[in-house]
Structure 1
Amino acid sequence: MAINKQDEALVLKMTNYRESDGMATLLLKQGGLRRFVYLSYYKPNSKTLARGIPLTKLLIQYQSKEEGLLRASQMEVIENYNFIKSDVKRNLYGNIYCEMMLSSIIDEFAYSKYFAMGETYLSRLNTKTSPDYLLAILVSSFLQAQGLQPQVDYDVITHETKVNHFSIPEGGFRKVNKSLFTNTQLKQLRLLFKMNFSHIDSIEQQPVDGLVLSTMVEYFTYHSGINLKSWEIACQI
């Protein structure tokens, strides 16, 4: 039996569905990842156009069912994140969160945690806060939530505390003969890999080294198996 529900949602993806209709993948705060049909979405002067653009936060009412496509009886835009959408880099970084959510295996009871993560990330990205800094925290937060965080307290193989390198395949700090990393970069890697969004107001924002950020993203893609197309595009511009 269908149950009427109200929930908050983040639009992650919109695709074509049957002629002029659209099919949106939404992350519901309580209901998890679900697909909704947007009738006549691609028709000229569509009244639902703004409600289906990725990186939009909605308040929706709908009839819930366990499987299949859903239709909302009411939709209201809570936040457009216009500053993100007006900036190419921020828009790409916002879409990285969408790609992470769409490609990850997530326990049904954990969706509210990932919703809160995305809500915080997008709200901060919608300000003048450094997008590189926010992306580093997003990557770290996602790794922690998935149980994939690297070992950054000692050598992942020998457990010795003297280290000079970070190994993506081996999953953490190493002591090697020749390293690409400086001590400053290793210290920043250690700090950022330990951070999540609960620390963002208690730790002073810092410029993120380019090698540090690329290493964090590459570590994520290697250990999660998720290729981030938006990151690849961002690296080319």
Structure 2
Amino acid sequence: MERPGPFLRCVAPWLAVAIVARLAAATPAPGPSIGFALQALAIGAFATAWMRQVALDEQPVRFGFGLRALLVAVIYQVALMFESFPRPFLELLLDGIKDGPMLAVAGVQIFQLLIGCFFLVLPHVALSKKGEAGGNRLQLMVLAGGLGVGLGYVLCGLPFLVMNMLWDEAAVTLPTEGLPGVAVDAVRLMISFAGIGVASAFFAQVWMVLQGVNPFVNQTPPADTEADSEPKAKRTERLNKLTKKK
């Protein structure tokens, strides 16, 4: 992380909200639903604020929340569900095979490599100015990014995936109730938010590079001909003279 200070100032309030959401999720209904929604909103708000700070150098408003953050939160949760779609099928297919769970994780990573470019919708929503979100701009940026964006997304998340797996193994022997359980969940959230921060910064920088790029047009426009460069008034006058002569 190149800028740990701004990152910590940006992530701290939303990490606190996510921890509160985990506590709410442990209460009776409708606690789990409230906790899930609150955590999703915290992730969306943090990702939006961090992308805007990385790409636009915009200072985040503490606990600031708007329509962009709401859209990013919803899109991100849908994307997470979509990218984890192959996992249960791979686990079922590889059941009984040695290292089957690890192979399933590797299969999900390959799937993320293929669909990673579609995550550019997140910076598109978070960073686009008013009036820029329409048209085919996003489609062109996705095509321009291609597998390179997917590879970057996988590499950004890989260290945090390993840390999560190691922490899950270590947390098996730790208590899950009371304050110790909250501490265990807090560590998971810290790892998760760190991964989201790195991925958000990556997508924001890619978006800044790709914005305005058209993969289908890679040629300089033809030079204006003499007739095209001639002022319209002079062309009209010349045509009128030719008409009178006839």
TM-score by length of 2: 0.24
The structure whose Rg is larger is 2
Using CA pairs below 8 Å that are at least 6 residues apart, which structure has the higher relative contact order?
A: 2
TM-score by length of 1: 0.24
Point out the structure with the larger strand share: 1
